[in-house]
Chain A
Amino acid sequence: MNTTTTAKDALREQDAGTNQYLTFFLAGEEYGVNILKVKEIRGWEQPTLLPNTADYVLGVINLRGMVVPVMDLRKRFGMAQTELGKTAVVVVVKVVHSGRVRTIGMVVDAVSDVYNISDEMIMPAPDLGGTISDEYVKGLATIQDKMIILLDIDYLVNEGMLKDAGDSQE
């Protein structure tokens, strides 16, 4: 991917309605999150097990003294499980929940690129048939003939992950 052009584009297109998205792969599909939500990207390391939580909560890692939970998006979306490869990384995002900022990590197969996507490029998602709740999807965008699924990360983390992560036991 031509990253220099992307960076220049980013400088040029500072106008409203255009956002930068970091994209990553999950089982061959490309997903995007608003880059302002991304705190950092870390190499994959085995997290410490967090007992009594949902299966998609892989555990916690030490992020410079902060204890941060790591979620498995494949498991959360009910996708096929594969061994994590060498390109697997943890995308650390910041989400706001009831006035508090939370930091959580998401394991993805690989990061892809950063794209400028203006709001008019985003198309509403069709009914996705229940595999992944369409509430978590902000919309779909086409970049170089590829489809990118843009995630509403705040909603996904707060409603889709944190809300029922703890009471999977009962």
Chain B
Amino acid sequence: MAVNLDLSQFHEIFFEESREGLEAMESGLLNLDVGVPDPEVVNTVFRAAHSIKGAAGTFGFTNISQFTHVLESILDDVRSRKRGVTQELVDVLLQSVDGLRYMLDCAKSGAQADEDRVAAILEKLQNLPVEQQPRPAGWLIRFSPKPHLLQAGNDPYRLFRELKALGNLLITPDLSRLPGIDEKEFDPENCYLGWDLLLQSDAGIEQIREIFAWVEGDCDLDINLSGERRQMVERRRRRDDEPAELETGGKGQEQASIRVNIDKIDTLINLVGELVISQSILSHAVTEHDHDHDRTGRLKEIVELLEKNTWGLQEQAMRIRMQSIDITFQRLPRLVRDLCRSLDKQAELEISGGSTEVDKTVLEKITDPLVHLIRNAVDHGIETPGERKAAGKPESGLIEVSAFQEGGKIIIKIKDDGAGLDPGKILVKARENGLISDTEELSMGQIHDLIFLPGFSTATKVSDVSGRGVGMDVVKRNINDLGGSIELVSEQGKGSAFTIKLPLTLAIMDGQLIRVGKEILIVPVLAIVESTQIRKQLLSAVAGKTEVYRFRDEYIPLLRLDKAYGISSELKDITDGLLIVVDTGQQRVGLLADEILSQQQVVIKSLEANFQQVPGLAGATVLGDGTVAMIIDVPGLMRHCKGITAAHTAGNAAPLP
């Protein structure tokens, strides 16, 4: 054994584990109840900090280990109840999580961490006032007896006595229902009083309910946790109410796992992809010898079995790349919390279906659009507490984020109970920006779709959170680029709901093979609306250049694939060709092809791996005969062709590709 072990090979693992530890700390801190913290949550945060400290020390990141040491000792105080949990404490702890993340990033990239920045956070940590004794949990009990309470033989004083046995009791009478003494309806045997009771005790709600069990039918009883603790506990209760789905996917899951480098997995998936191709070449070859039944019969059976196994293998290999969407969702509570603080709003975030699995690449690319939508929901959707109260809603808004799988797609829903979209405002804005004409009549759905247009923002006040005019169009484009779609349902005053549909994986897709000249191209089946024979009378030209085709009740642009890709078509007459109507998510387009061939599942190979992105192409694939075929990126091709046409009209004489 070499004595001077090279630790650097373990650094990657350390960074990875520390990142996970920080995420655990962050989510734990966000769940920490001010007042009386859940010991389990405190322990989780403490353990995470402790592991980071230990590992950082081992690997020689002294600044990180020193920093974490201070953090750890504070957490230890909290754990042993020497220190109470205040809002300030949680804030500073969250800041120190950010600080740690910064230091880790610096260590990872080999950069020097800004010492002043670290020292500032450290100072805050060290100067945290120690609230010696944890404040006992407060229960706010609103006890409003019905007038006949006393007649039923109940004595409020007995209740108070029993409550007092649980802890410190503060009683405030509510005299508001007391009629004047001289008024006729005053009945001395009725109970007109109500009481607001503040019970400082860590007794459970059941114990309190038990005391009131005798008077249950004879009073209005409202038992709440006092102060800031309430919201947190409510949120947790709601979370606990969720169906068992979360149990199995979340904490209940104690499956063994190993850490594997992503390159290894990708190599495996590539190899499996090659196997699929070899297998289909083999099937192809066997079918060619179909005439000789005696000899190929057995062979065919074997090939079929091989095919089944190969696809099974590929499916499982793809699943290795799948990760639970929780990785993205975990960021959201912090985001909502920070946004609410800076905007003076109140909102709760409810997340469900975090265990839904998505391909790693999809997951990486969906994070930004998702964050944007949540920002929008808090910034534009949720109203200020005052406005909400005036509208008869609870002061705190609710944002629900859920994910689930449905028919080979991942569905993500983001719903808020905020103000919803104001169709009037949208129309005014759209007219101002010249997106629609003054006379145009639009349906509600069409009005909502306007917000997805480039250069559109309805926020009357441009805040630093959102509303810079780059927004929903980018979100939509990102999602379209992933081969997904986004829909919006909104009701003014009630809230908005976005539904995002995404493919499960970016590695395989159903492809429609088409022929243009001698080249074989692939159109994603998901994008195809319909394929149709071209009828000449439905074809017309705009400005002599752009061709449009009347498809049903709309005119759609016609895109000649041979021209767009610079391939020579073998079509003598346009009517010999076929029109494939595709939906880009923004509009419908007709693609002109020479011939439509079979449909098959194709493994998408990136062109970037060895070359670079090519406009209008989503990638390439290897067909059954071993040749390479290009996969058409419909939205990208539209953008590319638009660019060229624009250059043409501007007098730029660049030849068509």
Q: Which 3 A-B pairs have the closest CB atoms?
A: A65-B274, A51-B565, A48-B628
- Interface residue B610 (Cβ < 8 Å from any Cβ of A): yes
- Interface residue A103 (Cβ < 8 Å from any Cβ of B): yes
**Residues of chain B with a CB closer than 8 A to A49's CB:** 519, 565-567, 630
> Quick check: which of B150-158, B168-176, B289-297, B612-620 contacts chain A, the rest being far away?
B612-620
> Quick check: which of A19-27, A66-74, A110-118 contacts chain B, the rest being far away?
A66-74
Interface residues of chain B, those whose CB is within 8 Å of chain A, are: 270-271, 273-274, 277, 519, 564-567, 605-607, 609-617, 620, 622, 626-630, 640, 643-644, 647, 654, 657
- Interface residue A8 (Cβ < 8 Å from any Cβ of B): no
Closest to A50 in B: B614
- Interface residue A38 (Cβ < 8 Å from any Cβ of B): no
In Å, the complex CA distance between A60 and B629 comes to 9
Knowing that A48-B519, A51-B657, A166-B615 are A-B contacts, what are 4 other residue pairs whose CB atoms are under 8 Å apart, sorted by A's residue number? A51-B630, A52-B617, A65-B622, A169-B657
Closest to B275 in A: A65
**Residues of chain B with a CB closer than 8 A to A48's CB:** 519, 620, 627-630
In Å, the complex CA distance between A147 and B556 comes to 60
Cβ–Cβ contact B611 & A60, under 8 A: yes
**Residues of chain B with a CB closer than 8 A to A86's CB:** none
- Interface residue A64 (Cβ < 8 Å from any Cβ of B): yes
Cβ–Cβ contact B614 & A67, under 8 A: no
**Residues of chain B with a CB closer than 8 A to A165's CB:** 611-612
Cβ–Cβ contact A60 & B626, under 8 A: no
Cβ–Cβ contact B657 & A67, under 8 A: no
Contacting A60 at CB < 8 Å: which of B567, B628, B657?
B628
In Å, the complex CA distance between A64 and B609 comes to 14
Q: Least Cβ distance of B277 to chain A in Å?
A: 6
In Å, the complex CA distance between A8 and B529 comes to 65
**Residues of chain B with a CB closer than 8 A to A170's CB:** 643, 647, 654
In Å, the complex CA distance between A123 and B270 comes to 43
- Interface residue A122 (Cβ < 8 Å from any Cβ of B): no
> Contacts A62-B622, A67-B628: A51 and B611 contacting too (C-beta < 8 A)?
no
Docked complex: A51-86 residues within 8 A CB-CB of B: 51-53, 57, 59-62, 64-69
**Residues of chain A with a CB closer than 8 A to B605's CB:** 65-67
Q: Least Cβ distance of B644 to chain A in Å?
A: 7
- Looking at B271, B610, B628, the one whose CB has the most chain A CB atoms below 10 A away is B610
> Contacts A49-B519, A51-B567: A66 and B610 contacting too (C-beta < 8 A)?
yes
Instruction: Please count how many residues in chain A sit with their CB below 8 Å of the partner chain's CB atoms.
Output: 26
Cβ–Cβ contact B615 & A52, under 8 A: yes
- Looking at A66, A67, A102, the one whose CB has the most chain B CB atoms below 10 A away is A67
Q: Least Cβ distance of B232 to chain A in Å?
A: 45
* Interface secondary structure of B, over-half rule: mixed
- Interface residue A124 (Cβ < 8 Å from any Cβ of B): no
In Å, the complex CA distance between A48 and B620 comes to 10
26 example contacts (A-B, Cβ-Cβ < 8 A) are as follows: A48-B628, A48-B629, A49-B519, A49-B566, A51-B564, A51-B614, A51-B630, A52-B615, A52-B617, A59-B628, A60-B611, A61-B628, A62-B622, A62-B627, A65-B277, A65-B622, A66-B270, A66-B610, A67-B605, A67-B610, A67-B620, A69-B607, A69-B611, A104-B610, A169-B644, A170-B654
- Interface residue A162 (Cβ < 8 Å from any Cβ of B): yes
**Residues of chain B with a CB closer than 8 A to A104's CB:** 610-611
Cβ–Cβ contact B617 & A51, under 8 A: yes
**Residues of chain A with a CB closer than 8 A to B654's CB:** 169-170
In Å, the complex CA distance between A36 and B519 comes to 35
Q: Least Cβ distance of B654 to chain A in Å?
A: 6
- Looking at B605, B616, B654, the one whose CB has the most chain A CB atoms below 10 A away is B605
- Looking at B270, B565, B612, the one whose CB has the most chain A CB atoms below 10 A away is B612
Cβ–Cβ contact A166 & B622, under 8 A: no
**Residues of chain A with a CB closer than 8 A to B620's CB:** 48, 60, 67
Q: Least Cβ distance of B270 to chain A in Å?
A: 6
Q: Mark A29-52, 1 if CB is under 8 A from B, else 0.
A: 000000000000000000111111
**Residues of chain A with a CB closer than 8 A to B565's CB:** 49, 51-52
Closest to B622 in A: A62
**Residues of chain A with a CB closer than 8 A to B270's CB:** 65-66
In Å, the complex CA distance between A50 and B620 comes to 10
**Residues of chain B with a CB closer than 8 A to A67's CB:** 605-607, 609-610, 620, 622, 628
Q: Least Cβ distance of A161 to chain B in Å?
A: 9
- Looking at A60, A66, A165, the one whose CB has the most chain B CB atoms below 10 A away is A60
In Å, the complex CA distance between A66 and B612 comes to 14
Cβ–Cβ contact A60 & B607, under 8 A: yes
**Residues of chain B with a CB closer than 8 A to A51's CB:** 564-567, 614, 616-617, 630, 657
**Residues of chain B with a CB closer than 8 A to A52's CB:** 565-566, 614-617, 640, 657
Cβ–Cβ contact A47 & B612, under 8 A: no
**Residues of chain B with a CB closer than 8 A to A62's CB:** 622, 626-628
In Å, the complex CA distance between A69 and B613 comes to 12
Closest to A104 in B: B610
**Residues of chain A with a CB closer than 8 A to B657's CB:** 51-52, 169
Q: Least Cβ distance of A163 to chain B in Å?
A: 9
Q: Least Cβ distance of A128 to chain B in Å?
A: 27
In Å, the complex CA distance between A168 and B439 comes to 43
**Residues of chain B with a CB closer than 8 A to A59's CB:** 628
**Residues of chain B with a CB closer than 8 A to A103's CB:** 610
Q: Least Cβ distance of A154 to chain B in Å?
A: 14
Q: Least Cβ distance of B367 to chain A in Å?
A: 23
In Å, the complex CA distance between A60 and B631 comes to 13
Q: Least Cβ distance of B523 to chain A in Å?
A: 15
Cβ–Cβ contact B274 & A64, under 8 A: yes
Contacting B614 at CB < 8 Å: which of A61, A102, A166?
A166
**Residues of chain A with a CB closer than 8 A to B640's CB:** 52
**Residues of chain B with a CB closer than 8 A to A102's CB:** 609-611
Closest to B611 in A: A69
Q: Least Cβ distance of A99 to chain B in Å?
A: 12
Closest to B566 in A: A51
**Residues of chain B with a CB closer than 8 A to A166's CB:** 612-615
Q: Least Cβ distance of A73 to chain B in Å?
A: 16
In Å, the complex CA distance between A49 and B521 comes to 10
Closest to B613 in A: A166
In Å, the complex CA distance between A115 and B390 comes to 86
Q: Least Cβ distance of B609 to chain A in Å?
A: 7
Q: Least Cβ distance of B157 to chain A in Å?
A: 78
Q: Least Cβ distance of B269 to chain A in Å?
A: 10
**Residues of chain B with a CB closer than 8 A to A68's CB:** 610
Q: Least Cβ distance of B402 to chain A in Å?
A: 37
In Å, the complex CA distance between A102 and B630 comes to 19
**Residues of chain A with a CB closer than 8 A to B277's CB:** 65
In Å, the complex CA distance between A168 and B389 comes to 60
- Looking at A61, A62, A68, A69, the one whose CB has the most chain B CB atoms below 10 A away is A62
In Å, the complex CA distance between A49 and B630 comes to 9
In Å, the complex CA distance between A67 and B623 comes to 12
**Residues of chain A with a CB closer than 8 A to B626's CB:** 62
Closest to A167 in B: B615
**Residues of chain A with a CB closer than 8 A to B617's CB:** 50-52
In Å, the complex CA distance between A49 and B654 comes to 21
> Contacts A62-B627, A66-B270: A53 and B610 contacting too (C-beta < 8 A)?
no
In Å, the complex CA distance between A41 and B605 comes to 22
Closest to A61 in B: B628
Q: Least Cβ distance of B649 to chain A in Å?
A: 14
